[in-house]
Amino acid sequence: MKDSMYLSPLNIPKGRSGKWAIEHDIIPALTPIQEVSHRTALFRGIHPKKTTFDFPLKIHILKNNGGIVMSDSLQERFDHESIVDAISDKVLIGGLGLGYVASLLDRKKEVTEITIVEKSKDVIKLVASHLHLKKLKRIYNQDIYKFLKNNKDHYDYIYIDIWTGTGEATLIEHVLPLRKLCRPFISSSKHILCWQEDVMRGQVKFALKNRLLFPSMFKELMELPQQRFDEIFNNKFVRIQKPFWNWVRAEKENPDIVEIAEQVIDEYVDLYGEPEFEKRWKKWM
C-alpha cells in the first residue's frame, strides 16, 4: 500500500439503521496489523505482510445483523488498491458499502463520473451524506442485477463488490453472471473489475494443479467411468473444471500430458466465462 493511503479517506460517524450499523474500532499505536492476509497471499502468489504505526488507527466497520460486511482495515484497503489504480473516466460501482472505493475514485483525477448502485436503503442512509463525492452522478437504491438488466448507459469501468465470501461459490453465483450482464455496456471485459476475483480464480487454479500433480488423484480421475465423471463435474460448483478434465482425459495416453496441461491452467481459468473461452473449449464442454 502506498504511504499516502494509510490515512483512510473516510470520516463516517457511528450509527444504526435497521439491521445495519457503522461502528468504530481504534487500533493502538505499535500494534502489528495484518496488511496482506495469508489467504490472499497464497492465492495471488504474493507475500503476507504486517505493518505497524506509531499512531493509533481508526477503523470504520459496516455491519449487517452483527456480521462484518466491510471495513477500512489495512487488509480490505490493500485488496481494493490495485483495482482502484486501474480505473478511470466514467465508472459504475455495484455496492456502496462504506463508500471506501467511491471515495478513492472521487479523488483520482483520471475519474470523471461515478454512478453507484446499492441495494440497501439503510446503507445509503448511514454512509452517503458523509462521503462528499464531487464526481457522483447518482446513487441508485436498487439491486445491481436488476439495474444492469434495465441499463442503457455505457461505462468505461464497472467495479462490483456486493459479496463477502471469496470462494469458488461466489465466482459461480455472482461474478460470472454479473460479468455477463455488464458486457454490453463496456468496451472490454478487462474493464469489469470484481473484488477478490483473482483470489476466487486462484482457488480453481489451485484445485486443478493439485489434482494434476498428485499422481494418485490424477490416476483416479483418469480412470473414472464417463458417467461418474459427468455426475461429479455437472455440479455447478465444479463445472468450471469440466472442459479441462474432459480434454486431459482424452489426451491421457500422451506421456507429456501432465506437463502440457499444467501450462494451460492459468490461461484456462482466467478465460473461463468469457466468449473466447466458449469458442476455444467448446469441444470439451
How far separated are the first and last CA of the chain, in Å rounded?
41
- At residue 57, φ and ψ (nearest 5 deg) are -115, 125
Residue 225, SS3 per DSSP: coil
Q: Which is nearer to ligand SAM, 94 or 273 (CB)?
A: 94
Alpha-carbon gap, residue 217 to 256, rounded angstroms: 17
150 vs 160: CA distance, rounded Å: 17
Q: CB 251 → ligand SAM: shortest distance, Å?
A: 41
In the complex with ligand SAM, the residue whose CB is nearer, 76 or 208, is 76
- Amino acid letter, residue 180: K
Over the window 170 to 189, marking each residue x when it contacts ligand SAM by CB under 6 A and - when it does not, the resulting string is --------------------
Please select the residue that binds ligand SAM; options are 12, 21, 36, 69, rule is CB under 6 A.
69
- Least distance in angstroms from the C-beta of 70 to ligand SAM: 4
- Shortest Å, Cβ 54 to ligand SAM: 27
* Residue from 117, 158, 204, 240 binding ligand SAM (CB under 6 A): 117
Output the residue with the shortest Cβ distance to ligand SAM.
Answer: 97
Binders of ligand SAM among residues 83 to 102 (CB under 6 A) are 94-101
CB of 160 to ligand SAM, least distance (A): 9
Count of residues of this chain found to bind ligand SAM when the rule CB under 6 A is applied: 20
b/e sequence 72-98, b meaning 16+ C-beta within 10 Å: bbbbbbbbbeebbeebeebbbbbbbbb
Query: Could you tell me if 59 and 22 are in contact, meaning their C-beta atoms sit under 8 angstroms apart?
Result: no
| Pairing mode, strands 157-160 and 136-141 | unpaired
Q: Give me the least distance between CB of 140 and ligand SAM, in Å please.
A: 9
Helical packing angle, 242-250 and 226-233, nearest 10°: 160
Interface residue with ligand SAM among 73, 115, 120, 196 (CB under 6 A) is 120
74 or 144: CB nearest ligand SAM: 144
Asked whether position 161 contacts ligand SAM by CB under 6 A, the answer is: yes
Query: Within positions 125 to 154, which residues make up the interface with ligand SAM, using CB under 6 A?
Result: 143-145
Nearer to ligand SAM, 70 or 114 (CB): 70
Closest to 142 measured CA to CA, from 133, 151, 132: 151
Quote the cell numbers at residue 263. 501450462
Q: How far is the CB of 45 from ligand SAM (least distance, A)?
A: 23
Q: How far is the CB of 132 from ligand SAM (least distance, A)?
A: 15
Q: How far is the CB of 111 from ligand SAM (least distance, A)?
A: 14
CA dist 223 and 229 (Å) reads: 9
Distance between CA 226 and CA 252 in Å, rounded?
A: 14
**C-alpha distances out from residue 211 to 220, 263, 285, Å:** 9, 14, 19
Selected from 162, 192, 212, 261, the binder of ligand SAM by CB under 6 A is 162
Positions in 225-244 near ligand SAM (CB under 6 A): none
The phi and psi torsions of 235 (rounded to 5 degrees) equal -60, 135
Residues in touch with ligand SAM (CB under 6 A) = 69-70, 94-101, 117-120, 123, 143-145, 161-162
